[in-house]
Amino acid sequence: MNIFRLIKILHTFANYRVKDLLPKHKSKKRVHFLRALSPLALKGKKCNNDPEKLRKALEELGPIFVKLGQVLSTRPDLIPAEITSELAKLQDDVEPFAWTEARGFIEDQLEQPLDEIFNSIDEKPLASASVAQVHAAELKDGREVVIKVLRPGIKKMVKRDLELMRSVAKIARTFGNPGVQVDPVEIVEEFEKTIYHELDLQREAANASVLRKNFIDSKDMYIPEIYWEYCKEKVMVMERIYAIPIGKIDRLKAANVNLQVLAEKGLRLFYTQVFRDNFFHADMHPGNIFVNTSNPEDPQIILLDFGICGSLPKEHKRDLANNFMAFFNQDYRRIAELHIEAGWVPADTRVDELEAEARTICEPYFARPISEISFGEVMLKTFEMARKFQLVIQPEFILLQKTLLNIEGLGRQLYPQLDIWQTSKPVLANIMKKSYGIDGAIETIKQNLPTWLEQTSEIPQLVHELLSQRTKPATKLQQIEQAKILRYKHYRENKKTYAILTSGFAIVTAVLYGLQADSGMPFGMTKPVIVGLAITLVFLYKSLKK
């Protein structure tokens, strides 16, 4: 362990009086311990409030601690709201590292001289963050690209600071506070997963590739192309885009962009990612969203930085959509039932108690105009039930809630009159209809039909093998009687099997006939329908034959 770095961390926390965020009745002797290691911290640095003390301390400790603060700002289920709000102000812009160092690192990753790949590279980075920096370049074939490269030695730095964070977390854990369900060690472990994911640029490239496929023909959203031949764990090359950052509202207005259309489109696209594709960009802050203004009345959204993406367990996607619909219908009983059915609370939770808690949390929202209601805030309020009902909060839900707050906040910044519900409801209803209505049922049948047919063809053989199993040798008379019994059982089982097959193929034939009608084909006996009907009649005959 780097003891001098640890002392620096403790000194900084003491200097900013971070102890003021801890329970007052237990903090005194620990603060004396911190001050003994940092005698220059007696006066402390002035801040407006306690959360600001933590933010400034993290900023002073450097890039990895800034990244930790950013991660903590997305955990409103663990950290008080006033602290998460302050930590959300943390900026990730840091001093760039030298081009000579970056060049050698890129060449080492790509295993060939850069002059053989690129016509030119801008030595001045377009952006520089705690984990990586980005340079503009041009490939030999003239395509304009950007090169994202990790900071040399970043993994070693992360490993060092993570070890020290664990040490500080263990010290903080000794304070204890039964009223707050926060384990500092658990927070550090969660941060470790996040930061190591961001250190794998090949993973980020894969995330971008999936999103691009999901919106490949979309005029509403564009994902830059990934050039896989130049993507490694520590280097990524992708298409360069020219657009206006969505946070530059003055420039968007100057370009005559329809801000209402842009705000509503951003919200709809996010719900499409979540409920249609079940794969969403989970770091959609203004720095990662750009706008193509070539058609100002129908602007196109461009996403960047795909290090953090999320998805929901398949069954929870529907549960979440149903919860949103139940909330806006003010059906608190249904909200309680959905939480229990989804396994988000213990199975023995009383529905009436959970219903009352949901009503207490949600009802105040309906005292204000529905256009001011936020899904992200509703999810945040739902997390408040965690302490009382031991709510099990999936990490994916935290990502979703954080991103949803970002999108809604940005949407209302673009267009203050944005009605979250009126914009979201049609998207939710349409996606749920396609996924869980008759269209979804037909699509499921189409996908599973080959498997069902394959399994169905094996049923007679399986039944035959089961009935053909012989018992131990018996007397001649017993053998005759057993043979009669087996033949009768075999006869009955065969009739049952043929009856099941008849029903199955009758259903399949009906579905094929219905799909033919839905596709706009003229009614008639197409070949698949004829084959299905013939097989159905054969099995019907065998099921009735004596």
Of residues 249 and 86, which shows the higher confidence score?
A: 249
Which residues face 292 on adjacent strands? 300
Does residue 312 lie in a domain region? Answer: yes
Do 385 and 455 reside in the same domain of the chain? no
Does residue 450 lie in a domain region? Answer: yes
Q: What order do you get walking across the sheet with 221-222 strand by strand? A: 221-222, 300-303, 289-292, 244-245
Mean pLDDT, the chain, integer: 77
Answer for the pair 407, 395: CB distance below 8 angstroms, yes or no: no
Do 359 and 283 reside in the same domain of the chain? yes
Which residues face 219 on adjacent strands? none
Does residue 276 lie in a domain region? Answer: yes
Do 266 and 163 reside in the same domain of the chain? no
Do 298 and 379 reside in the same domain of the chain? yes
Does residue 45 lie in a domain region? Answer: no
Q: What is the pLDDT of residues 304-342, one digit of tens each?
A: 999 888 888 777 777 777 887 787 778 889 888 888 887
End-to-end Cα distance, the chain: 84
- Can you tell me the distance from the alpha carbon of 198 to that of 309, in angstroms, rounded to the nearest whole number? 10
Tokens of 260: 């209402």
Dihedral of the alpha carbons of 249, 250, 256, 260, in degrees to the nearest 10: 30
- The pLDDT value recorded for residue 341 is 81
- The pLDDT value recorded for residue 230 is 94
Do 371 and 455 reside in the same domain of the chain? no
In this structure, of 240-249, 251-260, 401-410, the range with the lowest mean pLDDT score is 401-410
Do 162 and 113 reside in the same domain of the chain? yes
The confidence band for 189, taking pLDDT boundaries of 50, 70 and 90, is: confident
Q: What is the pLDDT of residues 383-411, one digit of tens each?
A: 666 557 766 666 677 778 778 877 888 88
Does residue 149 lie in a domain region? Answer: yes
For 308, phi then psi, to 5°, come to -120, 110
The one-letter amino acid code at 413 reads: Q
Q: What does the DSSP 8-state code read for residue 129?
A: B
Do 277 and 149 reside in the same domain of the chain? no
Tokens of 403: 């991103």
Do 424 and 445 reside in the same domain of the chain? no
Q: Which of 180-189, 416-425, 500-509 has the highest mean pLDDT?
A: 416-425
Q: What does the DSSP 8-state code read for residue 225?
A: P
Do 446 and 376 reside in the same domain of the chain? no
Q: Which residues contact 507 (CB under 8 A, 6 or more apart)?
A: none
Answer for the pair 34, 14: CB distance below 8 angstroms, yes or no: yes
Q: Is the pLDDT of residue 63 over 70?
A: yes
The one-letter amino acid code at 463 reads: V
Mean predicted confidence (pLDDT) in 54-61? 83
Do 275 and 418 reside in the same domain of the chain? yes
Boundary residue ending a domain (215, 240, 265): 240
Do 369 and 278 reside in the same domain of the chain? yes
Q: What does the DSSP 8-state code read for residue 287?
A: G
Does residue 44 lie in a domain region? Answer: no
- The pLDDT value recorded for residue 39 is 47
Does residue 479 lie in a domain region? Answer: yes
Boundary residue ending a domain (240, 266, 289): 240
Q: Is the pLDDT of residue 74 over 70?
A: no
- The pLDDT value recorded for residue 443 is 56
- Can you tell me the distance from the alpha carbon of 191 to that of 21, in angstroms, rounded to the nearest whole number? 20
The confidence band for 27, taking pLDDT boundaries of 50, 70 and 90, is: very low
Q: What is the pLDDT of residues 479-494, one digit of tens each?
A: 555 565 666 566 666 7
- The pLDDT value recorded for residue 25 is 47
Known catalytic residues are 283
Identify the domain containing residue 522 by its residue range. Answer: 439-544
Answer for the pair 15, 38: CB distance below 8 angstroms, yes or no: yes
Of residues 55 and 386, which shows the higher confidence score?
A: 55
Boundary residue ending a domain (436, 462, 487): 436
Give the residue carrying structure tokens 């850069």: 114
Does residue 13 lie in a domain region? Answer: no
Do 254 and 401 reside in the same domain of the chain? yes
- Can you tell me the distance from the alpha carbon of 135 to that of 237, in angstroms, rounded to the nearest whole number? 10
The number of folded domains in the chain is: 3
Q: For the beta carbon of residue 167, count every other beta carbon within 10 angstroms.
A: 16
